[in-house]
Amino acid sequence: MNLLSVIIPSYNEESNVPLAAARLSEVLETANIPYELIFVDDGSRDRTYEVICAEARCNPAVRGISFSRNFGKESAIFAGLREAKGDAAVVTDCDMQFPPEVIPEMVALWKQGYEVVEGKKRARGKEAAAHGWFARMFYKLIGKAVGMDMASSSDFKLLDRRVVNVLNTLTEKDTFFRALSFWAGFRTATVEFEVQERVNGTSKWSVRGLIQYAINNITSFTTAPLRLVTFLGILSLIASLVLGVQTLVRFFMGSAVEGFTTVILLLLVIGGTIMISLGIIGHYIARIYDEVKNRPRYIVAHRTEEERHAVDA
Ligand code: UDP
Ligand code: MG
């Protein structure tokens, strides 16, 4: 039977790490699946890494790396994919919102020959109505960009070694893991699961963070906003032709409008459109700048393997 790597990004999850390790190993051992658990400490400010080290000492199937600072969940996932030694990798959360019992189902599908198994949320967890609406809009846009139905998708996935290798070759720094597995293609199956309540602690997302996340992910998958700029330009051009002819006709007929209001309104509308367009273009330039700098996506500061050697010596 082939090795399964479970990747668990963890940020300030000291209370959840032991729980996650216990539940995941219990489920996988019961299902007779050889596994390794890879905890990626995303620069936590609490004792997450110490707890991971303690777990690694008790259970040889547990490993961990720790970032030098917080690099975000995406970086943590990609670091985990690089670390993974398994023939397949599962990405899950540390707060156990993705039920570990689903993993054996995913593995079963993988054994049937599926290379990507997507975890699909049956119902979105408890959240505010505005949040739900926002999330749906966001997934519609992204779904259009990757040409797939992305609604109720999640970061909970199983990827075959082939897919992991493909993702490991991507050089882009700003990634959106959830959509990349759709983008990569391969034979895909889905399993549905019920999103659980977070066990301990609170969600790490602020509204501002979510908006930023949405904008970044949309622009990392589509240039539609840039086409919107062109579209706005065409609209203004048509409007200017119509208004221009009308203004000239009135001028020569000696009845030009002298209203200041028109001028102010026109300035405001055109000014606003130009500013927004510049903002959109600027956003893409900023992204090019970030990619061109070619900095590493994350910095690994510690590994549990080293810690073990330190104890042995
Ligand atoms: N996480 C991370 N880095 C971050 C934020 C979150 O590695 O900067 C991890 C976190 O520890 C958890 C997972 O990503 O395992 C999902 O985070 P959270 O539960 O806060 O998000 P939500 O479930 O509310 O979407
Ligand atoms: Mg969560």
Domain shared by 55 and 86, yes or no = yes
Say if ligand 1 is within 6 A of residue 42 CB: yes
**How many whole angstroms separate alpha carbon 98 and alpha carbon 20?**
11
For a pocket test of ligand 1, which of 37, 66, 75, 95 has the largest count of ligand atoms closer than 8 A to its C-beta? 95
Which candidate, 35, 2, 37, 3, places its Cα nearest to that of 304? 37
Q: What pLDDT score does 160 carry?
A: 93
Q: Which residue range is the domain that position 10 belongs to?
A: 4-221+296-312
Is the distance from CB of 124 to CB of 152 less than 8 angstroms?
yes
Task: Count how many domains the chain has.
Answer: 2
Helical (H) or strand (E) element with 282? helix 260-293
Q: Is the CB of 9 under 6 A from ligand 1?
A: yes
Q: Give me the residues paired with residue 112 across strands.
A: none
My answer on whether 66 and 158 are in the same domain is yes
Indicate the angle between helix axes 48-58 and 304-312, nearest 10 degrees.
60
Considering the domain architecture, whether residues 151 and 248 belong to the same structural domain is answered as no
Is residue 144 domain-shared with residue 249, that is, in the same domain?
no
Both structure tokens of 271: 């000014």
65 and 11 share one domain: yes
Same-domain status, 175 and 278: no
Q: Ligand 2 centre and the CA of 32: distance in Å?
A: 27
Whether residue 147 is found in the same domain as residue 247 = no
Give strand pairing partners of 40. 9, 65
Q: Whose CA is nearest to atom 19 of ligand 1?
A: 203
Burial of 303 (C-beta count, 10 Å sphere; 0-12/13-18/19+): middle
pLDDT tens digits, residue range 249-286?
Answer: 888 888 766 678 878 888 888 898 899 889 989 989 98
Looking at the fold, whether 208 and 271 belong to one and the same domain comes out as no
Cα-to-centroid distance, 129 and ligand 1 (Å):
21
| Exposed / middle / buried, residue 7 (Cβ in 10 Å: 0-12, 13-18, 19+) | buried
Q: What is the rounded CA–CA span in Å between residue 306 and residue 304?
A: 5
Contact 188, 158 (CB under 8 A): no
Task: Give CA torsion, residues 161, 166, 167, 170, to 10 deg.
Answer: 160
Specify the DSSP element, H or E, that contains 50.
helix 48-58
CATH number of 64's domain = 3.90.550.10
**Closest ligand 1 atom to 202 CA:** 20
What stretches in the chain show pLDDT beneath 70? 1, 123-131, 145-149, 151, 204-205, 256-258, 308-313
Q: Are residues 302 and 158 in the same domain?
A: yes
Q: In this predicted structure, what is the pLDDT of residue 313?
A: 47
Ligand 2 centroid vs 181 CA: distance in angstroms? 20
Same domain, 217 and 231: no
pLDDT at 1: 62
Coil, helix or strand at residue 34: coil
The answer on 161 and 308 residing in a single domain is yes
Q: Are strands 116-121 and 153-160 parallel, antiparallel or unpaired?
A: antiparallel
Whether 212 and 234 share a structural domain: no
Query: Residue 186 corresponds to which amino acid?
Result: F
Listing DSSP states for 148-178 in one string gives: S--TTEEEEEEEEHHHHHHHHH---SS--HH
Are the C-beta atoms of 42 and 9 separated by less than 8 Å?
yes
Q: What is the pLDDT of residue 79?
A: 94
